[in-house]
Each structure stands twice: as C-alpha cells, then as structure tokens.
Structure 1
Amino acid sequence: MAQDSAARARPYPPPRRSATEVPAAYARLRAEEPVTEVTLPSGDTGHLVSRYDDVRAVLADPRCSRAATVLPQAPKLTAVPFDAGGLFTMDPPEHTRLRALVSRAFTPRRVAAMRPRIAELAGELADAMAASHRADGGPTDLNAAFAFPFPVAVICELLGVPYADRERFRTWSDAVVSLTAHPPEEMLRHKRALLAYLGELVAAKRRAPGADLLSALVTVRDEEGGLSETELLTMAMTLLIAGHETTVGVLGTSVFTLLRQPDRLALVPDDEEQLAALVEELLRINPIGDGGPLRVTTAPVEVAGRVLPANSAVIAAICSANRDADRFTDPDGFDPHRPSPTPHLAFGHGPHYCLGAPLARAELAIALRVLADRFPTMRLAVPAETVTMHTGLLVNRLTRLPVSWD
C-alpha cells in the first residue's frame, strides 16, 4: 500500500512555468484535490494542503507539530532536516520560551526605532548602485547590488554579525535552505561550517559583548541559564538565515512585479498607509516559498474531509492559499490598491507566526521608497520572460534582476 501511495504522489514542490507564476498545479488542486499526496525531496511521502481555510487551520493546529519533525521515525522534508532545539523545530511551551527571549528585538515599537538606521543603510546601497551604474553604463543586477546586501546589512547589524563576512554565510545559508539544489553531504558540510563560525562569534561576544542581539543571547545563556549552548547556536543560525533569506527573495520579486506594470516604480506611494497596503499586496502575490516549514501530525487530523493518520508529513501551501478565490477577489491579479487589511498568510498563522514580520514589512517599505525616490525611471533591462527563479530552495529568489535607468 505504501508503494502504491508513493507511486501516486506528485513531486514537491510542483514545477513552475516561469519566475512570475505560482505553479499552475495549485489552482487545480484547490478545485479538485485540496489534500494531495506528494513525494518530498527526501523521498518520503507527505500531504500538500492548498485551500486558504485548510492551510490556516493546519498552521494553527497543535497536532500539526514542528517538534515531531525531528523524531527518528518521522518523515523528513530533505535529506538534511533542521536540527532539534530551534524555533523551526519546537512547539509550545518550549517554543514559547525561546521565542520570548528574542521577541522584544522585533516588536513594532523596536522596529520603528530602527527605521532611520534601516533607511540609512538602504540609502548607502542606493548611492553605491548609482555610482556603479554611472561607471560602467550597463545594466545593474538589482539582486546583487541591493536586494541581497540590504537585508543582510540589517540583520548583521541587529545580531552583531560582521557584514564583511556576508559572502561566507551566503554560501552556507543557501545550503541550509536547500531542497534539492545541493547534495546532502554538501548541505551538511555547509551547515557545520556555519555553526562553527557562529561558535567562534559567540566566543568573541563572551570576551567583548556589544549592544547587539547575539551578545544579549550570550548573556541569557551564561548568566541566566535561559538557553543551552545548542539552543544558543541554533537560535543564532535561525535568526541569521531567516532574517535575510526571506526578505532578499521577496524584495527582488516585489521590484520585479512593479517593473512589469505600466507605471513601474511610480506605483510606490508617498503616503505611509498606502505604502503599507502596497507592501501587503506584494507579500500576498510574491510567495516567500511554496509552503511553510514541514509539520508532522501527532494524532489523526481531518483536513478538507480527509483524515491524515498520526506521523503524517503535512505542508501548508501558503503560496496557494494566498491565491484562493474563496478568500481574495481576482486572486491572481496584482492590485496595488487592494483594500487593506489583506488577510494573506505570507508570515504564517498561529504560534509560529513569523517573529520578524514587523522588521520585514519595514525593510520592504523602506527599500521600495528609497528605490522609487532615487531611481524613478528604473525599468527592466531584459525581457520579463527571461528572468528566472532559483530552483531547489525553500525560498523563492530570482537568479538575477537586470535593471537600468536614465
């Protein structure tokens, strides 16, 4: 029976026709097969949930567990899954304890206080991008010049990680978020290298603490006993990777979305409320990834009329939920004036709702405002259909985004 089930299963993630389109399979699955069996990159069988209401229910259901994903007998998403002891592999109350240690760094009030510095970092990168463009006169890869270094600079400053090391942890990070882009032995090697790097950084913070978040976590570990050493390193890795990978991807795809519209960056409004609404629509239509992190059921769970047994792998397809016509008018259309609030699930739902959502929203709004102010005539330098997406990663990220301006 297991072999028959595996034979029927579709590959996950489903293929996409282009960088601009969510995989076409999701529309059919929402209509005909809202829970379907898929073959995960690890080779294990899982269940893909595609309708908005069902995705939201899975994300909030305590029986759909993150912690169960690290059990030896549990199905795995990839050959090198996330380690135990981190925010991605814990459930309440342990998850609540760890989340509380860092949540103050990401509150809307703390992020509001950071906005001037975030804007300063964006402005510095825009200056460098303009100077480089004048020097060579050719198209500029927005990904390399802005979309990658901007979120990296922000998270490095927040955590206290040297920005000069960004290319090193970029390589390590890409391997950690790999689905099929890297072989298992390479994924493991890069993850170990990243943890070793963070271990050295933690030791340096112990010798000379600063005003950064990583120094604060070291204090919690050493003086308050609130973290084990493994939890400290896993937390640092999670914050570093999640703090830039997702924003890098959605910033690139958001600018790409705007540049495909007739008004291009003129769509970025001056009004803060209108800008916030535009950010929400860009988050809805530009998925961070195809699905949320893997969950494994700890008891039988009924989803869309189908009972999933205990120890079933479940992926809540957020990118599909955000295109559900039962929840959104013209779900596949980009509407920069879509009424707010937009009830998208880009940041998840329930106890694992993205801790960094306020920071990500601020980064996107500030980046779009800076780009629109500095480069109002920015346009695509290549046909839109030639822009491609990286494949085999947990996150959606364009390979290159060549742009030009007058």
Structure 2
Amino acid sequence: MTGNAQELWTPACRADPRPLYARMRQEARVVRLVEPIQQMPFWLVSRYADVVPLMRDGRLAKDPRKLGEQGRSRFLRFTHEGLARHMLNADPPDHTRLRALVSQAFTPRRVEALRSRVTTLATGLLEAAIARGSVDFIDAFAFPLPVIVIAELLGLPPEDRHPFRDWTRALLVPPADGDPEPVMAASQSFVRYFTTLLERRRTAPGDDLVSAMLAAEEQGDRLRPDELIGMLFLLLVAGHETTVNLLGSGLLALLEHPEQLERLRAERGLMDSAVQELLRYCSPVEMSTARFTVEPTEVCGQVIPAEEMVLAGLMSANHDPEVFAEPERLDVGRTPNKHVALGFGIHYCLGAPLARLEAAVAFELLLERAPRVRLAVAPERLEWRKSAVIRGLEQLPVTFA
C-alpha cells in the first residue's frame, strides 16, 4: 500500500479514520507514511497481531539518543531537551528505574483511595455545567477534572493549571506551517515552570509526588535534574490528556448509540466494562509513541532501514475484526475485551487505573444527574483535533435541558 499521509490528516479522516485503517490492515502489514506538517517519515503497523509484538520488541529503541547524530537531530528537532528524559523515551534499565520511582503512586489500591476526591470534583463541575444549561463539555468538565486530579497529586497550586492546556496543545498538535517556534515556546514554558517548582519543593517539601521524587533522588536513585523535569512533564501531560479525550469522545459515542446508553443506565454493574469498551472504541491515543530502528530491522516482513521511526496503530488494532467481533459496534458489555488503547508491555500506561476511575465516576454521575444531556450541534459539525497520535474533539457542545 502506498501511504497517503494527506488522507490520514484530512478533516474527513480525522472525523473517522477507521475506513482508512481497514484498508491498511487488508493491504499491508506495515506502511510507510510521511507526516505532512513536520515532513517526518514513519512506519505504521496496523494489525492487532502485529501491534502487540511490536510494543514488546526489544530490538526497537524508545530512546532516540541511541541513534546517530543525524537521527537524533531529526527526531528531537521539535522537542525541548529539557522535556525529553522520561520513561516513555527510555529503555531498560533507565525505564525500569524511572518507572519504579512513580509506580507506587498509581497502584489500583492508591488510585481507589482517590475515588471520593474525584467524585467531589466531578460533582461540582457537573452541577456547574448543568446550571448553565448548555456548555462545551470539554472545557467545562472533560479538561478540568483530570487536570485538577493530576495537579493535586503532583502538588501544583490550583491557580497554576490554567496555562497547561495551551502549552500541551502546542506540543501535541504542531502548527500547520511547520514553524517550530510555538512548540519550543511551550516547551520552554514547561521547563521554566517545573524548574521553579522543583526549587520551591526542595526548600519546602510537601505531601505530594514532586516531593516524593525529590526525596527518592536524595536517597541515591540517581534521578538527574533533566529526568526530574522530563518525568514531571510526562506525568502532567499523560495524566490528563488521555482522560480528556476519553471523556469527550466517550460521551459522544454514548449519545450516538442511545441503546447502549440506556443499557448502561439500566445495568450500572456494566460501568467498568463500558469504560473498557469506550477505551477500545474511541481509542483516545490513536497511535503509540515512537520506537526507532537502531540498525536495519525486519518488522512485519519488511526490512526497515536504520534510524527510522515505527509506530503502533492502536486505534486500528482496536478495530481489527480478527480480534474483535463486530468491531465497529459499541457494546458496553463486550467481553473479552483485550484492547490496546493504553499500550502494552513495559510501556503500558502507568496511569491506566486513574484514567479508568475518572471515567467511571464521570459517566456514573452523568447517568444519575444529567439524564437529558444531548448534543447541541449536529455530529457532522464537530471538529476533531488534527493530531493522528492523540484522538479527541476540539469542543463538544451539549445541552442539559
């Protein structure tokens, strides 16, 4: 198959990329595409049977610094050095060390202890939205809920969270003209912010994850300053971005499938299953983060040259009919449901339990307190984000009347 990057990034494909992924799965196990804004070439693996082994393939590197100078500069040209040193860009043993420093904060037991706080926050946000009558659900609920939760875990002052959305947007969706300046400006803003925060926490530690990471550093875990900043950046962005898109796209999916919404309303015990199905169906992370060939490497029968980027098509795999019966059908009771929406292997999303908890609380409250929530615009008028890595809506206008 000849990769048509322009088709992948068209508004029609952003609204529904599933037909294109179906063609990819049928025609080739791996296809080479060129991202049109940054002109970045990459190889995309689309079949579930290939995606899962790819995400645990030790021959492929996560750290672009393992590449030669030309490869490093090509892949890091839109990335501030101060944000690049985190566990998603790391291979063992660095990945093992970095993940161990924060994994205890995201165990299912510790996350469950957050349920009361998440419920309180979600209730306040939803009541405020209902009182207004009609809102952009993303702005009024889907964004503030997870960003407040992760900010509190990290110990960030509430008033500091407001710029995060713009900075994150600039990093995840580069400008259409390919100008790196907005990306670098947002990166520098994050670096300055976290540098100042770390200085404050060193002199006045608190009961938060930033202070815990600093304490671990002092106990000899060899957490370098650039790793501290990179990990804080990852935790903040990954700690809210996926959930924002899951909440927005998930509500849209339920509104577009009223029979499934009513089934969930009648069978509340299906909530955990429904969240897993919304993760599969909506795939808030459309493609995995990058892996790199350090040397020529055979992937899915194709020899990929050295210093090339390989991505796993998570949304494509989640809609593969070889694994999921009637994959285009939303089924809140689907079982088994071995989706890869949150990755696979050692780089599986650390915050998965928190994302699932936030989604379950949010949808339970919507069922209970907003039984008449409706789309305020025709579905075809909705605008999807231009990124093919992160999948989500720009806005979701709804009414509660």
Return the TM-score normalized by structure 2: 0.92
Change in Cα spacing, 1:183 to 1:264, as seen in structure 2 (3 Å) is farther
Matched ranges for 1:279-358 at <5 A: 279-339=275-335, 341-358=336-353
1:81 to 76, 79, 82: 79
Is 1:69–1:296's contact at 8 Å kept on the other side of the alignment?
A: no
Shift of 1:266: 3.4
Change in Cα spacing, 1:32 to 1:82, as seen in structure 2 (3 Å) is farther
Structure 2 residue runs without a partner (length 5+): none
Shift of 1:77: 5.5
Aligned counterpart, 1:196:
192
Aligned counterpart, 1:136:
none
SS at match of 2:114: helix
Aligned counterpart, 1:95:
95
- Mean CA deviation greater in 95-104 or 222-231: 222-231
* Partner Cα separation in structure 1 for residue 172 and residue 257 of structure 2: 31
Matched ranges for 1:127-146 at <5 A: 127-133=127-133, 139-146=134-141
Letter in 2 for 1:377: R
1:113 aligns with 2:149: no
- Mean CA deviation greater in 42-51 or 113-122: 42-51
Change in Cα spacing, 1:45 to 1:162, as seen in structure 2 (3 Å) is same
CA RMSD of aligned residues (A): 2.2
* Partner Cα separation in structure 2 for residue 346 and residue 376 of structure 1: 28
CA offset digits 1:61-89 (Å, max 9, x no partner)? 01121113673332756741374421121
* Partner Cα separation in structure 2 for residue 336 and residue 92 of structure 1: 37
Matched ranges for 1:213-232 at <5 A: 213-232=209-228
CA offset digits 1:259-311 (Å, max 9, x no partner)? 11234743434766511111111000112233101110124433332222332
2:258 to 241, 244, 262: 262
* Partner Cα separation in structure 1 for residue 260 and residue 323 of structure 2: 27
1:59 aligns with 2:55: yes
Aligned counterpart, 2:356:
361
SS at match of 2:32: strand
* Partner Cα separation in structure 1 for residue 286 and residue 9 of structure 2: 9
Is 1:15–1:23's contact at 8 Å kept on the other side of the alignment?
A: no
The sequence identity of aligned pairs, in percent, is 39
Letter in 1 for 2:398: V
1:30 aligns with 2:30: no
* Partner Cα separation in structure 2 for residue 382 and residue 68 of structure 1: 43
* Partner Cα separation in structure 2 for residue 350 and residue 70 of structure 1: 20
1:236 to 232, 241, 247: 232
Letter in 2 for 1:92: P
SS at match of 2:161: helix
Is 2:257–2:330's contact at 8 Å kept on the other side of the alignment?
A: no
Aligned counterpart, 2:145:
150
Q: Which runs of 4+ in 1 moved over 6 A?
A: none
Change in Cα spacing, 1:180 to 1:345, as seen in structure 2 (3 Å) is farther
Is 1:177–1:393's contact at 8 Å kept on the other side of the alignment?
A: no
* Partner Cα separation in structure 1 for residue 77 and residue 258 of structure 2: 44
CA offset digits 1:1-53 (Å, max 9, x no partner)? xxxx9xx6532754352665225321111001221111134323221111111
Aligned counterpart, 2:4:
10
- Mean CA deviation greater in 301-310 or 52-61: 301-310
Shift of 1:223: 4.2
Is 2:286–2:388's contact at 8 Å kept on the other side of the alignment?
A: no
Is 1:122–1:367's contact at 8 Å kept on the other side of the alignment?
A: yes
Is 1:292–1:315's contact at 8 Å kept on the other side of the alignment?
A: yes
* Partner Cα separation in structure 2 for residue 303 and residue 393 of structure 1: 21
Change in Cα spacing, 1:30 to 1:14, as seen in structure 2 (3 Å) is farther
SS at match of 2:42: strand
Change in Cα spacing, 1:365 to 1:82, as seen in structure 2 (3 Å) is farther
Shift of 1:320: 0.6
- The number of equivalent residue pairs is 394
Is 1:18–1:385's contact at 8 Å kept on the other side of the alignment?
A: no
* Partner Cα separation in structure 1 for residue 59 and residue 44 of structure 2: 16
Change in Cα spacing, 1:94 to 1:391, as seen in structure 2 (3 Å) is same
Is 2:138–2:395's contact at 8 Å kept on the other side of the alignment?
A: yes
CA offset digits 1:148-184 (Å, max 9, x no partner)? 1011111111111122222212111112222445731
* Partner Cα separation in structure 1 for residue 388 and residue 305 of structure 2: 28
* Partner Cα separation in structure 1 for residue 289 and residue 46 of structure 2: 14
Letter in 1 for 2:217: R
* Partner Cα separation in structure 1 for residue 258 and residue 121 of structure 2: 29
* Partner Cα separation in structure 1 for residue 175 and residue 76 of structure 2: 8
Is 1:281–1:335's contact at 8 Å kept on the other side of the alignment?
A: yes
Is 1:198–1:233's contact at 8 Å kept on the other side of the alignment?
A: yes
1:168 aligns with 2:163: yes
